[in-house]
């Protein structure tokens, strides 16, 4: 992969219309990635200059500054890209129902009114739950147009037998999940067994049917950025609709250097195949400032086309609360207490 900083592709500045000028209605995901045959020569030739990647990633929050109404507009757009998530051992149908209510109305009405954004029809991108909570989420979101996303395939470790992992996907889809977030077997990456990884993801894609497939690579456990680049390519070749950084359960989750590697893999895959693949950082993105840095990365590396829920998502639970708090500050000039912005 190329390590040198790329020319900006219309980085955010005051000369562009606010991001909220685009409709925020629920839209379908982009056309499916059809996948291609596994190209081992391409995968094995991939390189990653870690120092150059980290240097480039370090500029993202410094070279661009988004302030005032522009910041509010970008944060409103970020809300529409959140997969609002609960993946706790003590999840209950009641908790899922509360999360679904927040998904329908992610920002308080008085804040939207103060911002002049009450007519945007603001909604999150999806609600993400464990497979057993899919029926509760489907019921709670009925009529909203918000899809249910389910983790599957032995989440978060991905070490259950393949047959069980495939059955878990089938059950989640049958229960009403429209998007499936699977975890790959990390040992395939660590041992360089790319054919095994390709066949695994391809089987998961087939099991999803019409549901969109997001592949979680657990990048904090892959060892090197080179492995991240290789795993990204193999997952896309196998037909992944999104590549996702993390489960949120690892010690190291979504980082900007990893995001940069994945974004450039997506860009190169688009150039080679014509297929667009989405990007989803998850785990550790809990502050509005971090969300803005990721949006800048996507805008500069992939272009405005990717600033849409069909091609970019945040996997998050607490991020929405901080964004709502920042929006209230923009509207009133004061920071409110965190408890005023519950997740549900």
Q: Could you tell me which of 65, 106, 52, 130 has the C-alpha nearest to residue 296?
A: 65
Q: What is the rounded (10 degree) CA torsion for 226, 303, 30, 188? A: 0
CA atoms within 13 A on the CB side of 168: 22
- 291: number of Cβ within 10 Å: 26
**In the chain, which ranges are continuous DSSP H helix?**
40-45, 50-57, 60-63, 68-79, 93-104, 109-115, 134-140, 162-174, 186-190, 194-208, 225-237, 256-273, 288-302, 319-332
* Cβ atoms 187, 201 nearer than 8 A: no
Residue that the structure tokens 């045959």 belong to:
37
Q: Are 285 and 314 in contact (CB under 8 A)?
A: yes
Question: H or E segment at 255?
Answer: none
Residue 181 annotated in active site: yes
Q: Determine which one of 102, 178, 214, 280 is catalytic.
A: 280
> Is-catalytic flag, 67?
no
83, 102, 178, 181: which one is catalytic?
Answer: 181
Which entry of 178, 214, 244, 299 is annotated as an active-site residue?
Answer: 244
Return all residues near 163 (Cβ < 8 A) that are at least 6 apart.
none
The DSSP result for 142-187, as a single string, is TTT-PPEEEEESSTTT--S-HHHHHHHHHHHHHTT-SEEEEE--HH
299 is catalytic: no
CA separation, residue 23 to residues 20, 67, 97, 114, 309 (Å): 7, 22, 26, 19, 11
d(CA 300, CA 294): 10
**Could you give the residue numbers annotated as active site?**
181, 244, 280
């Amino acid at each position: 992969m190329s390590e040198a900083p790329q020319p900006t592709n219309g980085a955010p500045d005051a000369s562009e219309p606010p991001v909220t000028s685009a409709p925020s209605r629920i839209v379908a995901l982009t056309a499916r990635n059809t996948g291609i045959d596994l190209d081992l020569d391409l995968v094995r030739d991939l390189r990653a200059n870690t120092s150059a990647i980290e240097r480039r990633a370090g500029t993202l929050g410094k070279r661009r500054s988004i302030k005032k109404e522009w910041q509010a507009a970008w944060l409103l757009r970020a809300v529409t890209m959140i997969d609002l998530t609960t993946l706790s051992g003590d999840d209950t149908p009641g908790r899922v129902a509360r999360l679904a209510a927040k998904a329908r109305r992610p920002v308080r009405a008085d804040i939207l009114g103060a911002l002049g954004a009450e007519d945007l029809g603001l909604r999150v991108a999806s609600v993400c739950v464990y497979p057993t909570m899919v029926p509760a989420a489907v019921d709670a979101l009925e009529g909203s147009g918000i899809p249910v996303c389910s983790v599957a395939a032995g989440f978060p470790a991905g070490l259950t037998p393949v047959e069980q992992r495939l059955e878990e996907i089938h059950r989640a889809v049958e229960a009403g999940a429209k998007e499936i977030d699977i975890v790959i077997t990390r040992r395939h990456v660590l041992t360089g067994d790319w054919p095994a990884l390709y066949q695994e993801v391809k089987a998961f894609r087939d099991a999803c049917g019409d549901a969109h497939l997001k592949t979680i690579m657990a990048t904090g456990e892959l060892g090197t950025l080179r492995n991240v680049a290789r795993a990204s390519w193999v997952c896309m070749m196998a037909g992944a609709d999104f590549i996702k950084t993390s489960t949120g359960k690892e010690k190291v989750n979504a980082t900007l250097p990893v995001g940069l590697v994945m974004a450039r893999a997506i860009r190169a895959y688009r150039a080679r195949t014509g297929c667009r693949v989405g990007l989803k950082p998850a785990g550790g993105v809990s502050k509005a400032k971090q969300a803005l840095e990721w949006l800048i990365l996507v805008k500069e590396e992939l272009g405005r086309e990717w600033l849409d829920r069909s091609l970019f998502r945040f996997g998050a639970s607490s991020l929405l609360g901080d964004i709502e708090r920042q929006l209230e500050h923009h509207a009133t000039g004061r920071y409110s207490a965190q408890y005023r912005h519950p997740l549900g």
